[in-house]
Amino acid sequence: MPFALGEAKMKLVDILARELNDWPFEATHAYSSGTLARFSDDLKTIEPYNVLSQEPEDSGYAIVTRSQWQAAVDALKAKGKAGPAIDWSKAPEDATHFSPDHEGFIEL
């Protein structure tokens, strides 16, 4: 669904959790440039790109790993599809990423 005026922008991990059905096999992480989600294996960009329904609020600097995406997908399944997958209101002020490997928020 397209971004509507007055609707809060979401972070890349939340958008991918809603819109990406399967993580690309070779990809180690995803990043975005505007509304384009790109996947990489650390050496090259993996085709095809995904067009997102909205530009993430952290576009241009967010990096999402497969485990971060999977944690967000699991969170959405547990609570339904309302609201962001990750509750960013509980994040420390300087947190930039959610890490399921570290069981919480981290700053990169």
Structure tokens at 7: 């609707």
DSSP string, 52-107: -SS--TTTTT-EEEHHHHHHHHHHHHHH-SSS-SS-GGGS-TT--EEEGGGTEEE-
pLDDT classification of 84: cutoffs 50, 70, 90: low
CB 69 within 8 A of CB 16: yes
pLDDT at position 55 over 60: yes
Structure tokens at 74: 């699991």
Whether the model pTM is above 0.75: no
pLDDT classification of 1: cutoffs 50, 70, 90: very low
* Mean predicted lDDT score pLDDT of the chain: 80
